[in-house]
Amino acid sequence: MSSEKQNIFDHLDPEEIQEWIQSLEGVIQRSGREGAKTILEAVEQRAKELRVLYSPLPYSPYRNTISQHDQGVYPGDLAIEEKITAILRWNALAMVMKANKNYGGVGGHIASYASCAEIFETGFNHFFKGGKEADLVFYQPHSSTGIYARAFLEGRLTENHLNNYRHETKEDGLSSYCHPYLMKDFWSFPTGSMGIGPLSAIYQARFLKYLEHRDLKKSNKRVWGVFGDGEMDEPESLAGLSLAARENLDNLTFIINCNLQRLDGPVRGNGQIIQELESLYKGAGWNVIKVLWGSEWDKIFLMDKNHSLLKRFAETVDGEYQTLGARDGTYNLNNFFGQNEEALKLVSSMTDEEIDKLKRGGHDFKKLYAAFKMAVETKGKPTVILAKTKKGFGMGKAGESRMTAHQAKELNLEALKEFRNRFQLDISDHKLENLEFYKPDENSEEIKYMKNRRENLGGFVPQRKYINIPIEVPKIDQHSKYLFEKSDREFSTTTSLIRSLGNILKDKTLGPKVVPIVADEARTFGMANLFSQIGIYSPKGQLYEPEDSSSLLNYKESKNGQLLEEGINEAGAISSWSAAATSYSNHSFPMMPFYIFYSMFGFQRVGDLIWAAADQMPRGFLVGATAGRTTLSGEGLQHQDGQSHLFASTIPNLKSYDPCFANELAIIFDEGMKRMMRDHIDEFYYLTVYNEKYSHPEINLSQKNDILKGGYLFKDNSINGINVNLMGSGPIFRECIKASEILKNEFSIGTRLYSITSYTELEKNCKEIKRQNLLNPSNIKKNHLEDILKNNDPIIATSDYVRSYTQMISSYVNNKFVPMGTDGFGRSDTRENLRDFFEIDSKHIVVQSLFSLFETQKLSLDILEKALKSYGFQSNSDHPWKR
Ligand SMILES: Cc1ncc(C[n+]2csc(CCOP(=O)(O)OP(=O)(O)O)c2C)c(N)n1
């Protein structure tokens, strides 16, 4: 104690201190420990207000949160569970070794599952619910082998499956990581791209509450996520923590497998990742449970009256813990306990072997069970369990706590024997050498135990099982009635889509299923009326009178609000979208998310989250608004999107469209709803909508098929003479219409105008037909592009996107093909100036048309040169992408 503190202490009345302690004991007797805790917390709060207490350290001492005294009785059969875990470890290890031996170089991991086998088994045997009300479990991806190994023992996967681990072009191949798309009835959540799992898990938990608060679906499902400590360095891993606490997601538990290592080395060699994570989670408002030391440590802690152990723990950085983990008992005795006289005394009666067997908490079923139980019982906040483990636990010199553990793919025979002996596996040397999988008899106590546990918990997990429930979609002449009448009114495609959406929201069947999502841009997209119409979801309701309460369109938050207003948080918004878009498969309860965002802040910003969503076969709409590099005038380089359609084109189950007119858009939207909601087809939609106002043709349903296939003949202005084909998507198609007039009036050149609703859909059709033709050369078919084209004249193709977008279709036609696009950095200016700058306006379309005719010897040089001159084109100007 410092002399200053001693001085204060000396002046206090010892009786008064004693009275305080006695009254605390009295409260415990009367109201129990929870009651005492509540009082102390209130006192602490007041002490802080009076500035008596400073903020304490943001983390607790380096020991288990739950004392031995509080951990309760273990309900499982430890001996059998340990046996099962040993078998799983073996099969997981054999799977990786065998795959690499048999067909070489396919990778796989041994050390990660070795570190979290007990964590998973605690979940599987005691907590993860299966069946109709199955929990949502996110698995650490490179531990998938352990999950397969378990499914093998459960009889859900065969030996053939295990033999085909990472051999996915084979029928029974098993995915490297958790990929629902590749194993449709097994995995639900892709976690292979690190950081995405934790964020998605939070939003899945939040979506469960959303369904409940909107009185749509009540469930007692939990969301569990087992993640790596290295993975916590991904910004996305921590991105949703405060939302989870703010919205009291007590249906969510994270278990961080703190083996202190990542791929290359220690996570925090010079620090302590567990303490750091505790501060972060606690700071965000989570309940934190540390499971650091196994039961063997309990008696040592009990003897340690002066906290010499805690002192040693606090002094030891993770790099050192790793070295201690890799070495034997003697080393630990000398280099850990030996550094402090008192600590050394605590273990003086233990042999080196006993010291070697002191386990970390994450490998101790009893400690883990107590933590899981506390997590489930905690109300009002999410829980994170920080489980200290050893990477490569049981791999001995071949991997245990070794720097190279992550990449280790094999053990030599000696190491395999050591492994077998350590886990007391009944496997002969011969079988070891042959890497034979081990499966106890169906009537063995292990298999019976496993199956019984799963039966008690409702069924096997992971399992992706659902019932498709068809939802009727209102007719197009209901939700988009206004487009069936001829009108000269000018409006943007954004406005028209929001208007149709507004009508759908009013539909009794589909309306409640819609989950509109915005990331602080509802006003930008003209959706502010939805605030009061359907309410903004907030589990707390509205605790204030909104400033605009007297307005009809007031900002209304409510517990059953329908709109998800995510704030400036595109990663969160897309995670909400994913949760809603997979509600059909996760809950057999289809919902229709409609996330509208600045198109630039979609694929470019959260592309990996969209990729992961695609892996889950989502159903819903992504709407890229304020689209187009030149149509979004006035904004700048970071806002003007000229590439999202290229990104979108790379996602196989995504249908993306870039329509020019509201009638096209309504047809696409209508079809998308029907296919996803009524016919439950596994696909999702990306629609770009713009903020340029112009008038639109009325809906003509006879064009429907062509519009959906990606394009149609909008107008035939061809002449008996020279002609070109003008193709355009989005508002830039209107530049084609203008160019058509110029070509006719000034150059007597005819045109056929094709409104391209999707270069991507066109390309998909073309490549499919091309392949069919290759395989069936006696039965050559025309692709959709050829079907609508029917001529050999040059094609000038434009859009508000980069040239590669239009170019996607160029190789499928024999016509001369001129791709145009907005390559380069955007910049702020008027639409007119931007279209001139990026060379996609009508005059550039005209000049490109003339040049293509010149190249095909249908036009003379002097006409072309005259045109270039009259438009003021400079022969030495730089292309926009260089400017
Ligand atoms: C976004 C991303 N970056 C990199 C990787 C490659 N990778 C796979 S596992 C791994 C290390 C994981 O360490 P940790 O999270 O601590 O898990 P552990 O295996 O140690 O349990 C890395 C870098 C990845 N899968 N995803």
For residues 790 and 723, is the Cβ–Cβ distance under 8 A? no
pLDDT for 677-707, tens place per residue?
Answer: 999 999 999 999 999 999 999 999 999 999 9
Helix or strand or coil: residue 685? strand
Cα 878 to Cα 883: distance, rounded to the nearest angstrom: 7
Taking only the tens place, the pLDDT of each residue in 543-597 is 999 999 999 999 999 999 999 999 999 999 999 999 999 999 999 999 999 999 9
764 lines ligand 1 (CB under 6 A): no
Residue 764 has pLDDT above 80, yes or no: yes
Residue-wise pLDDT tens digits, 19-40:
999 999 999 999 999 899 999 9
Tell me whether strands 750-756 and 711-717 are parallel, antiparallel or unpaired. Answer: antiparallel
Ligand 1 pocket mutation, candidates 119, 254, 262, criterion most atoms within 8 A of CB: 262
Does residue 342 surpass a pLDDT of 60? yes
Inter-residue contact 427 to 436 (CB < 8 Å) = yes
Please give, one letter per residue, the 3-state secondary structure of 844-883: HHHHHHHHHHHHCCCCCHHHHHHHHHHCCCCCCCCCHHHC
Residue from 231, 276, 386, 611 to probe ligand 1 pocket by mutation (most atoms less than 8 Å from CB): 231
Distance separating alpha carbons of residues 589 and 838, to the nearest angstrom: 46
Say how far apart CA 354 and CA 366 lie, in whole Å: 19
Nearest of 147, 120, 111, 146 to residue 391 by alpha carbon: 111
Nearest atom in ligand 1 to the alpha carbon of residue 232 is: 15
- Quote the pLDDT of residue 713: 98
Q: How far is CA 307 from CA 311, 346, 388, in A?
A: 6, 11, 20
Q: Is 262 in the pocket of ligand 1 (CB under 6 A)?
A: yes
Check pocket membership of 230 for ligand 1, CB cut-off 6 A: yes
Q: 104-123 burial by CB neighbour count: b if 16+ within 10 A, else e?
A: eeeebbbbbbbbbbbbbbbb
209 CB near ligand 1 (under 6 Å): no
Rounded (5°) CA angle 295-301-307:
150
Atom of ligand 1 nearest to the CA of 389: 21
Tell me, what amino acid is at 451? K
pLDDT-derived band of residue 316, with 50, 70 and 90 as boundaries?
A: very high
194, 318, 393: which to mutate for ligand 1, most atoms within 8 A of CB?
194
Q: In 3-state terms, what secondary structure has residue 155?
A: coil
The two three-digit tokens of residue 488, written as one number? 């000269």
CA of 198 to the centre of ligand 1 (A): 13
Per-residue confidence (pLDDT) for residue 145, from 0 to 100: 97
CA distances 491 to 498, 564, 648, 792, Å, are 11, 26, 26, 36
pLDDT score of 876? 85
Residue nearest (by alpha carbon) to ligand 1 atom 22:
263
Cβ–Cβ < 8 Å for 247, 300? no
What CA–CA distance (Å, rounded) separates 597 from 224? 29
pLDDT at 90 over 90: yes
The angle that helices 603-615 and 196-213 make with each other, rounded to 10 degrees, is 80
Classified as helix, coil or strand, 225 is strand
The pLDDT tens digits for 519-548 are 999 999 999 999 999 999 999 999 999 999
Give distance in angstroms: CA of 141 to centre of ligand 1.
9
C-beta 279 within 6 A of ligand 1: no
Counting other chains too, the contacts that 527-531 makes at CB distance below 8 Å and 24 or more residues apart are: 527/498, 527/596, 528/553, 529/502, 529/553, 530/502, 530/505, 530/563, 531/555, 531/556, 531/563
Q: Is residue 400 within 6 Å of ligand 1 at its C-beta? A: no
Q: Whose CA is nearest to atom 19 of ligand 1?
A: 112
pLDDT the model gives residue 3: 67
CA distance 406 to 572: 30
Residue 165 bridge partners (DSSP): 174
Mean pLDDT lowest for which of 31-35, 643-647, 751-755, 844-848? 31-35
Q: Residue 2: pLDDT band by 50, 70, 90 thresholds?
A: low
Q: Is the pLDDT of residue 1 over 60?
A: no
Whether 263 is in the pocket of ligand 1, judged by its Cβ within 6 Å, is: yes
* pLDDT, mean of residues 172-189: 97
Q: What angle do CA 837, 843, 845 make, to 5 degrees?
A: 95
Task: Dig out the tokens for 858 from the structure.
Answer: 């249908």
Structure tokens at 806: 């239009």
Q: Please answer whether residues 66 and 386 qualify as being in contact, where contact means their C-beta atoms are separated by less than 8 angstroms.
A: no
Q: State how far the Cα of 564 lies from the Cα of 570, in Å rounded to an integer.
A: 12
Greatest C-alpha distance within the chain: 112
Number of H helices, E strands in the chain: 36, 18
Q: Is the CB of 194 under 6 A from ligand 1?
A: yes
Distance from the CA of 408 to the center of ligand 1, in angstroms? Answer: 14
Distance (Å) from CA 273 to ligand 1 centroid: 15
Look up residue 119 and give its amino acid: I
Atom of ligand 1 nearest to the CA of 116: 21
pLDDT in tens, 426-453: 999 999 999 999 999 999 999 999 999 9
Burial of 220 (0-12, 13-18, 19+ CB in 10 A): exposed
Atom of ligand 1 at shortest range from CA of 230: 16
Asked if residue 268 has its Cβ within 6 Å of ligand 1, the reply is no
401 lines ligand 1 (CB under 6 A): no
Q: What 3-state class would DSSP assign to 292?
A: coil
- What is the position in ligand 1's atom list of the atom closest to the CA of 196? 1
Distance 223 CA to ligand 1 centre (A): 21
Give 155 Cα–ligand 1 centroid separation in angstroms.
Answer: 30
Residue among 113, 263, 390 to mutate when testing ligand 1 (max atoms within 8 A of CB)? 263
Atom of ligand 1 minimally distant from the CA of 231: 15
The residue ranges of DSSP E strands in 347-495, in sequence order, are 383-388
Is 101 strand, coil or helix? helix
- With a 6 Å cutoff on the Cβ, whether 389 touches ligand 1 is no
User: What DSSP assignment string belongs to 618-638?
Assistant: --SEEEEES-STTTS-S--TT
406 Cα–ligand 1 center, Å: 9
Residue 396 CA, ligand 1 centroid: distance in Å = 22
The two tokens of residue 816 are: 């001369």
The structure tokens listed for 100 are: 């690499």
Question: Pick from 278, 276, 295, 296: which is nearest to 287 by CA?
Answer: 278
Q: Are 517 and 577 in contact (CB under 8 A)?
A: yes
- d(CA 319, ligand 1 centre) in Å: 18
Tell whether the model's pLDDT for residue 328 goes beyond 70: yes
362 CB within 6 A, ligand 1:
no
Which burial class, exposed, middle or buried, applies to 882 when counting CB atoms under 10 A from its CB (0-12, 13-18, 19+)? Answer: exposed
578, 613 in Cβ contact below 8 A? yes
437 Cα–ligand 1 center, Å: 27
Residues 6+ apart with CB under 8 A from 810: 797, 817, 819
Mean pLDDT taken over the chain: 96
CB 752 less than 6 A from any atom of ligand 1? no
Q: Which tokens belong to 660?
A: 């020019």
Burial call 569-591: b when 16+ CB within 10 Å, e when fewer: bbbbbbbbbbbbbbbbbbbebbb
Q: Collapsing DSSP states into helix, strand and coil, what is residue 30?
A: helix
Look at ligand 1, atom 16, and give the residue with the nearest C-alpha: 230
Pocket probe for ligand 1: among 138, 142, 615, the residue whose CB has the most ligand atoms within 8 Å is 142
Ligand 1 mean position, distance from CA 231 (Å): 6
Would you say 785 and 765 are in contact if contact means Cβ atoms under 8 Å apart?
A: yes
How much distance in Å is there from the Cα of 704 to the middle of ligand 1?
Answer: 47
Cβ-proximal residues to 689 (8 Å cutoff; 6+ apart), any chain = 492, 493, 494, 497, 596, 623, 624, 625, 627, 665
* 579, amino acid identity: A
Which atom number of ligand 1 is nearest to the Cα of residue 195? Answer: 1
Distance 262 CA to ligand 1 centre (A): 6
Q: How far is the CA of 431 from the centre of ligand 1 (A)?
A: 32
C-alpha of residue 528 to centroid of ligand 1, in Å: 42
Closest residue CA from atom 7 of ligand 1: 263
The 3-state DSSP class for residue 326 equals helix
Residue with tokens 């340029």: 692
Angstrom distance (rounded) from CA 404 to CA 112: 12
Burial tier of 476 (Cβ tally within 10 Å: 0-12, 13-18, 19+):
buried
pLDDT(248) > 70: yes
CA dist., res. 572 & res. 519, Å (int): 8
- The token pair that represents 142 in the structure block: 């490179």
Q: What whole-number distance in Å separates Cα of residue 433 and Cα of residue 411? A: 10
Q: For ligand 1, atom 3, which residue shows the shortest CA distance?
A: 194
**How far is Cα 66 from Cα 288, in angstroms, rounded to an integer?**
11
53 has pLDDT over 60: yes
* Residue 883 pLDDT > 80: yes
Q: What is the mean pLDDT of the segment spanning 307-324?
A: 96
pLDDT band at 875 (very low <50, low <70, confident <90, very high): confident
Q: Which atom of ligand 1 is nearest to the CA of 608?
A: 1
Q: What is the pLDDT of residue 107?
A: 87
Please count the other Cβ atoms lying within 10 Å of the Cβ belonging to residue 814. Answer: 9
Which tens digits make up the pLDDT trace of 100-114?
A: 998 888 988 999 999
Predicted pLDDT of residue 12 = 84
Q: Which atom of ligand 1 is nearest to 267's Cα?
A: 16
Q: Is 251 exposed, middle or buried (0-12, 13-18, 19+ CB in 10 A)?
A: buried
Q: Which residue has the tokens 């085909």?
A: 164
Ligand 1 pocket member 257 (CB < 6 A): yes
| HSE value, Cβ hemisphere, 13 Å, CA-based, for 335 | 16
Return all residues near 443 (Cβ < 8 A) that are at least 6 apart.
none
Q: Whose CA is nearest to atom 4 of ligand 1?
A: 194
pLDDT of residue 638: 96
**From atom 23 of ligand 1, which residue's Cα is the shortest distance away?**
263
Percent of the chain scoring above 70 in pLDDT: 99
**For residue 165, how far is its CA from the centre of ligand 1 (angstroms)?**
19
Tell me the CA–centroid distance for residue 116 and ligand 1, in Å.
14
Distance in angstroms (rounded) separating the CA atoms of residues 180 and 292: 33
Q: How many angstroms separate the CA atoms of 273 and 292, rounded?
A: 12
